[in-house]
Structure 1
Amino acid sequence: MSPLNSTFFKNDTTSNIVHPDFFFIRGFAGIPYTKYYYGFLCFVYALSLLGNTFVMFVIYTDHCLHSPKYIPVFNLAVSDLCGSTALIPQMIDTFLFKSHLIPFETCLTNMFFAFWFVAMQSFTLTVLSYDRCVAICFPLRYNEIVTSKSMFVIIAILWIFAGTVIFTAVIFISTLSFCKSTVVNSYYCHHGPLLRLACNDNTPSTVINRTHPVVIFWLPVLFITATYICIARALLKIAAASERFKAMKTCTSHLILVSVFYLPIAFSVALGSTIEQNTRVINMSMSTVLPPVLNPIIYSLKTEEFRESIKKLYRRKKLHLTVRNA
């Protein structure tokens, strides 16, 4: 252990666990022109706040959107908004204002919320695929199967499940001793890079680290793939091409959301260790900050009901202003 690192560690004499006072978030060190990226992060965060707040506002104010299918859309906006808030302000503070040192407890808190909201983004996309599958495969039973109550229950269970899984991972991380280094090779307190700094038996945390991607990403991807196989089979049974196209059109916004969220992650995992460290950090950071910005834009542009609700709100606002100025 270097003299620099030794000043950051404290020993819990009751359990022989060594915790650092601070972790050093390496982030984008060695990457050129990062000041422009920090400016981009500020812009992205502001856009994410505006976009997702707007989506929630439209759904809340328009009673035509008070239907089961828009409950997960509202939940996705909440997850995106909270996920951006958990990550981007901390990243800006760390790198733009040179606050690379993050206290141990703050690091674990940041890890919990960042992973929790990312998990909910993934699970909500899964719920949206379930909704589309039922709507196309069982159109006559849709209102019977997909109700507001069932949607609320599913989403509440997913919030609790995701929170429990992530909290368990954080608890196991807190039981590790860190005596190798305090430098975290990521742009936030990421579970994997922290795990590699541990110097005691980290078998439970290693198992969790390998299980998490399966639970949070790959099982949802498998479920979404299965739902679209069912949707494709159902579409093939529709004789009229116009009806087939109309049914497919209702899935386009969801498919774009799925691509934006999962493809960058799949790209990083597929290339694995062949990706240079800085490239991996930039790719993973983009995959976490861009979906919350793009989701409200994609949904607003690609969903006809939502576009009509925006037009209705605009006309209502215009009429209100006309009456006020008359």
Structure 2
Amino acid sequence: MPEGNITSVKNFVIVGFPGLHPNYYGLVSAVMFLVYMCILGGNGIFLTLLAREKSLRKPMYFIILNLSVCDVLFSTTTLPKVIARYWFNDGNISFLGCFIQMYFVHYFALVNGLILGVMAFDRYVAVCNPLRYSNIVSGSTIFILCVTAWLLAQSCVLMLVIRAYPLPYCAANTILHCYCDHVSITRLACTDRTPYGFPAFVFAMVVLLCPLPFILFSYGAIIRAVLRISSTHGRMKTLSTCSSQLIIIALYFLPRFFNYLVPYIGISFSADMQILIILLYSLLPPLVNPLIYCIRTKEVRDTLRKSLVKSAFLQFVKQKVHVSTICNDV
């Protein structure tokens, strides 16, 4: 009999932090709601600037636009459900809904990594081959690379879901996590997980980290090029063009490496601490990235300042006109 025919689980229950006392549910849900609003607000401001300002319609900002969209979609896929878990004590998610969430969780994570690879390519050409930058890194080239990242990630992650969905789920249905991911779901299968777990782990390492060698090569070449610059001012100026991207890449990859390597270096964490680490590297980049775009990128910072000044000035003028009209009427 096919394994899928003995599945009796109709829905899953997202537990979140298993050791969290109910007295803190309200606080945790409020913090996550605030984080979600900040992610939507920060990325929304950046996307609005890109849509309104023609000066920001450049290949580099199109890459950041893709990262921003990916961050918003990932947060929207994961946070509302865990907020409902603690705010309304509603952690139930349907069987199919859990696999749909699992698909999007891994999909947006993979897209993010691939887009960071495109960003590394952009900076590599800008620093190591600046005279040919406009010919190599055109708007159409970046558009094709970004679209390829979204399409390639879709087919790769679909393989994980197709392998996990038919497994027999007939016992526990509680997910010790804040969202449905491949490991959390397949652990609940009523079968030996080894034939599925190890290939899935290898697949995750290869796919999620496949952009990393190219990123390391790109920034290694950038550092070599910077060290050849004779003047200190020139080196600092060149490095400043890559500093924002390096921070974004570090926020994405370093915590993931730490989480993956912890079991192999003799360090153990409680389930709550491990979930907290996963949430930090999942939600910290979407929260911090808009600040990095605006603070570390002069062009975006200046555009934002002009928009704020223009908006404040318009409000001041409208208020003066309104007061003047009232005085004239009197």
Is TM > 0.5 for Structure 1 vs Structure 2? Answer: yes
Q: Is the 8 A contact 2:3 2:166 kept in 1?
A: no
Equivalence for 1:82: 73
The answer to whether the aligner puts 1:306 opposite 2:300 as a matched pair is yes
The two structures have a TM-score, normalised by structure 1, of: 0.90
> Following superposition of structure 1 onto structure 2, how do residues 277-296 of structure 1 map, counting pairs within 5 Å?
277-296=271-290
Partner-residue secondary structure (3-state), 1:78: helix
The 1:91/1:145 distance shift into structure 2, 3 A limit, reads same
> Following superposition of structure 1 onto structure 2, how do residues 1-326 of structure 1 map, counting pairs within 5 Å?
16-32=5-21, 33-200=24-191, 203-204=195-196, 206-216=198-208, 218-272=209-263, 274-324=268-318, 325-326=320-321
Q: Which amino acid aligns with 1:77?
A: S
Percent identical residues: 29
How far the C-alpha of 1:301 sits from its partner, in A, is: 0.6
Aligned length: 314
Partner-residue secondary structure (3-state), 1:177: coil
Q: Is the 8 A contact 2:6 2:170 kept in 1?
A: no
Q: Which amino acid aligns with 1:308?
A: D
Q: Which amino acid aligns with 1:27?
A: G
**Structure 1 residue runs without a partner (length 5+):** 1-11
Q: Which amino acid aligns with 2:44?
A: T
Measured against aligned partners, the alpha-carbon deviations of 1:104-138 in whole angstroms (never above 9, x if no partner) come to: 01101111112212222222222212111110000
The two structures have a TM-score, normalised by structure 2, of: 0.89
Q: Which amino acid aligns with 2:279?
A: S
Alignment RMSD, CA only? 2.0
Deviating more after overlay: 134-143 vs 199-208: 199-208
Greater Rg, structure 1 or structure 2? 2
Measured against aligned partners, the alpha-carbon deviations of 1:151-201 in whole angstroms (never above 9, x if no partner) come to: 110010110111111122112111111134212222111101211222346
**Structure 2 residue runs without a partner (length 5+):** 322-330
Q: 2:276 and 2:309 mapped to 1: Cα distance?
A: 42
Q: Which amino acid aligns with 1:187?
A: C
Partner-residue secondary structure (3-state), 1:189: coil
Q: 2:230 and 2:239 mapped to 1: Cα distance?
A: 14
